[in-house]
Structure 1
Amino acid sequence: MRHIKCMAAKGMIAGAMAVAVAAMVWGCSAGRTEQDPGTGMESPAGMDGDGQAVTASRQPSASGQGSAPDYVDDFYNAVNHVTLGGWEIPADQPEMSWFRKVREENYNKVNDMIQKVSSGSGTGSREDGGGTPAQSDTGEIRDQENIRALNLTGLDREAREKGGYGQRAGEFLNKIEDAGTVGELLSASLRFQKDYGIYSLAGLVYTGDSDDSSVKSLYWLKPDTGLKREVWFSEEESNKKRVEEYKQYLTRLHESNGLETREAGETVERVTAMMKDLASSSLKIEETYDAKKTNNVYTARDASAIYPEALSMELLSGIYGIREDEKTVVAEPDVCRKLGTYLTEDNLPLLKEYVKTCLYADLSAMTDMESLNAAQEYQMAVSGTEEKKPFERTVSESVQQELGFQCGRLFCLKYFDDDAKQDVTDIVRKVIDVYDRRLADMEWMTETTRSEARKKLAAIMVKVGYPEQWPQDRYSLKLTAPEDGGLYVDNILAIRKADQDYMFRTKDDPVDRMEWEMTPQTVNAYYNPGNNEIVFPAGILQPPFYDPEGVPVTNLGRIGSVIGHEITHAFDTSGSQYDEKGNLRDWWTAEDKQRFEELAAKVVDYYDTMEVNGTKINGSLTATENIADLGGVSCVTEIAKDEGYDLRELYKAYAALWAGKYRDEYLAYVMTNDVHSPGIIRVNAVLSATSDFYTAFHVKEGDGMYQKVENRPGIW
């Protein structure tokens, strides 16, 4: 299972599928009940109680108070002092940053279109739009009809209260209750996953084969552990609190489904004990990025044998239509084996409780108001937010998540200019050209490996703006409006079913390399190793990330560094395991691989010495992103020197991009669970490792930004 590499982290919407967490649409996040605090997370700049960033080397005065630190002591705060001092975190948000601000702008733009469509006044996309994404009148009309139906059914509180879990999920709950054997429970659970992509005990999906990226293979999903291993077994007080808040949240869900408080609490204790036990056999977060650990190939029959007889090949074949000898990849077999110890008839009552608990959490934001309130209050508790999001916003966010590409087409028609697409594509090509020159002169690589690296670089596919073919045009989707009896949860599950049906219907087709894993209005970017592609959605191609009328050196320091970051992911400790076709293949000589691993270890050691708000950076957890940050800035530095740009302005532009304020609870979570380093580290650590920065700002020994030459890591 291949992870795509994003410029900034993303959060999960309660009960909803996360988009593009892995290189598949409904991948490992599909059945997870864990909810990250807030949505649309990006890597934070570390903050203390009053908003001040703190590093291991220096503790400057509070942001926005007193004088700014010197550039040579704390570059991040020197550049962002005024910005941070003027920002307040919204009461219903866990942080404030440029990512958040632009995402908020995009949310408002899309929300405005959603409300206009729902009221029958259109979107204004044709009159006002500058973009020309491929589309048809029929496709745009169908998008608007589905957006209207989902939004209005979401806003219909009375229908949601009366409808409960709706027809589809309601039938599944009845089957759970009626299951007389573990086999019957597994059958019901697997059929629900096959139809709707939501799972608990197990699940199967088709996605690009890591060994041959042109075809699809069957991937086995691990059971739902509720929270990550890093949370369940953490000694950090913030994570311990998160566990207790999670239990309280699940208890409330069981209460809203008819259990008395004591019985609900006892049920949750049993279920979460099982989840924690399963998590004990999970891979660490950083290990999930290592294909050598996750590309475990079986036949379907051998994969089913990981479990006891309850999960038979006959059951799998009957539900999914798979063959005994079909290639099957089990990313985390140890967790599956652990689950197998629970699949006994004596455990049937516990397994029923577990499956229902997972479903309650997965659907909590799309059913009754009590469940929604429980989900929101849980989010508040673990993220430190002071207010719940307004009800109308929870619905609009869900519409923008579930119908992301439908909203994206309208967004691009109205707000995206194709001139920007060409301009950014030109910048990408310039960065690739410089990167190629750097590879050609890479002293630590032999010619054999260097040639393979340059071949991979030349083959990178570049996607900018929006997809050439909109995914919703590949199949029919018609949601039911409230006036026709439509129910919110049923409409959402209808969307999921359309996606699932398409995935299974096309499982034998070649991989469509033109598909996107991220919606065009998203403020982010990513590298997908399985496609060897870098993708820059329209949402990030606006100020402050990119300004078509902006100063070239500023654009280079911002969108240019983002581009360099994503390209470097092709050569980080994870992406470097894949070749120019996106296949998992060792293209390194033994000598070069050893040298690369030594350089990567130096990056890990370098970041391990740093801390934010008293918490040390986990250099292993953040290694791939740190390598990408270092490579991106190194590349744009060379371009700036070639173009005769002022390096001081380049580095200021880069640093400004990562300004951010974060609530303590939110920061504590991402510090131990996010593969991205906090923003202050992405600025100060990267520039302290960049020799040209020392020259540009006359940094000397004794300054806060100073690192000894031998301690400065660098690979690309």
Structure 2
Amino acid sequence: MLAKSGEPGLPIDLLVTQSHYVFVKAKVLTSEISNGVRVAVLLKADWMDRAKQNAAVDKLNHTLRMVGYPEEFLRNWTILDQLYAKIELKRTFTETLRTIDQSNSWINLQKLLIRTRNNPYYPTDLTSANAEMIRYRNYDLVIPAAYLQPPILYAGNLDIVNYARLGASIGHEFIHGFDIFGKDVGKVGKPLSWRTNVTQSNYNARKYTLVDLYNSFSSPINSVDGQRTLNENIADNGGIRAAYLAFHNFMSRTGYRIKLPGLEEMNEDQLFWLVAAQKSCTRHPKLADPEHAPLRFRVLGTLMNNPDFGSAYNCPLGSPMNPWIKAW
């Protein structure tokens, strides 16, 4: 983005917030997915005792959720004047750039130091089309405004798409707070040792099961290293589980039902998994990067490892898409 090339990025961020890309339902969805992580992932983790579950939930509740844009942007139009008051037009272009760099350095420092819900200094550009868990800010969640639009978020009656796509992305980021790195960080950023030998052993057993599952994936052009992609695989599997629970809670609370044209024979559970998988559709298979499995295998892994998918599509237990052994 512009801020990364040495030019002011916040003015464009402000224009994004004024363009109504962001729906209020995104903030509601974030809260519901957080509850889904708490109920579907943490409180149902039978490999943790109650004290450890409570510590994990406490950390989750302490996570700052920055969704869409800083509300301060909409309440205070003078904020940009304050931010760039130190920029001066000098005699030369180089001198002017120096004042801009100094101003951007100050803004970046505020992004690092100020941790409040109305902080106008989001740690990522609002024009970034990617949700992110910020490790250096104690695993705070940022979902920029540009990410909150189709095909990730829809207005109208397509809540099933919002839960299956945006919901899974939000859940994915929340789970990063409990992956291989996040599990050792407490709610205020200090080292956390909330796993006993028993829970650590149970955690490792499930971890290695997930590694083995992804190691089994290969194609003529690429394969998967289950150990190298473990963090992202943990986040994928936990995130979709939380989104599925949140969607079911939403249906129970509202009576929501939907039939899609041409797919009238499919029920809501089947549609949820179909829509979630379509988020990763691509014409060209993506080669694996160091941290992520190819998209095809990211989809297959989350489906095969989730008993709710097997139930929705009546996959016999022990079949390829509903294996006997699952990680979580």
Partner of 1:706: 321
- Residue 453, structure 1, aligned to residue 59, structure 2: no
Report the number of matched residues: 301
Partner of 1:638: 245
1:485-496 counterparts in 2 under 5 A? 486=93, 494-496=99-101
How much has 1:598 moved relative to structure 2?
A: 2.5
- Over aligned residues, Cα RMSD in angstroms? 3.1
| SS across alignment from 1:611 | coil
- Residue 657, structure 1, aligned to residue 279, structure 2: yes
Partner of 2:178: 571
Choose which of 19, 43, 55 in structure 2 pairs with 1:440: 43
- Residue 430, structure 1, aligned to residue 39, structure 2: no
Q: Provide, for residues 306-326 of structure 1, a one-character-per-residue CA deviation record: whole Å limited to 9, x for no partner.
A: xxxxxxxxxxxxxxxxxxxxx
Distance, in Å, in 1 between the alignment partners of 2:96 and 2:31 is 42
How much has 1:444 moved relative to structure 2?
A: 1.1
Partner of 2:87: 478
Choose which of 105, 129, 152 in structure 2 pairs with 1:523: 129
How much has 1:510 moved relative to structure 2?
A: 9.0
Aligned residue type for 2:125: T
1:33-52 counterparts in 2 under 5 A? none
- Residue 497, structure 1, aligned to residue 102, structure 2: yes
Contact 1:569-1:575 within 8 A present in 2 as well: yes
Q: Which structure exhibits the higher relative contact order, with contacts defined as CA atoms closer than 8 Å and separated by 6 or more residues?
A: 1
Partner of 1:532: 139
- Residue 406, structure 1, aligned to residue 8, structure 2: no
Contact 1:528-1:534 within 8 A present in 2 as well: yes
1:149-168 counterparts in 2 under 5 A? none
- Residue 683, structure 1, aligned to residue 299, structure 2: yes
Structure 1: unaligned runs, 5 residues or longer: 1-12, 19-397
Partner of 1:610: 217
Distance 1:492 1:615, change over 3 A: farther
Contact 1:618-1:672 within 8 A present in 2 as well: no
1:340-351 counterparts in 2 under 5 A? none
How much has 1:544 moved relative to structure 2?
A: 1.0
Distance 1:551 1:415, change over 3 A: closer
Distance, in Å, in 1 between the alignment partners of 2:7 and 2:201 is 44
Q: Provide, for residues 382-430 of structure 1, a one-character-per-residue CA deviation record: whole Å limited to 9, x for no partner.
A: xxxxxxxxxxxxxxxx5xx84332211112113435xx1x311111111
| SS across alignment from 2:133 | strand
Distance, in Å, in 2 between the alignment partners of 1:661 and 1:478 is 46
How much has 1:551 moved relative to structure 2?
A: 1.8
| SS across alignment from 1:535 | strand
How much has 1:651 moved relative to structure 2?
A: 0.8
1:136-147 counterparts in 2 under 5 A? none
Choose which of 33, 42, 67 in structure 2 pairs with 1:464: 67
Distance 1:611 1:634, change over 3 A: same
How much has 1:491 moved relative to structure 2?
A: 5.8
Choose which of 589, 595, 603 in structure 1 pairs with 2:202: 595
Query: What stretches of structure 1 move > 6 A for 4+ residues in a row?
Result: none
Distance, in Å, in 1 between the alignment partners of 2:11 and 2:59 is 33
Distance 1:608 1:548, change over 3 A: same
Distance, in Å, in 1 between the alignment partners of 2:289 and 2:68 is 32
Distance, in Å, in 2 between the alignment partners of 1:579 and 1:650 is 33
Q: Kindly, what percent of the aligned residue pairs are identical?
A: 21
Distance 1:593 1:457, change over 3 A: same
Distance 1:702 1:620, change over 3 A: closer
Aligned residue type for 1:580: K
How much has 1:648 moved relative to structure 2?
A: 0.8
How much has 1:543 moved relative to structure 2?
A: 0.9
Q: Scaled by the length of structure 2, what TM-score is found?
A: 0.80
Q: Scaled by the length of structure 1, what TM-score is found?
A: 0.39
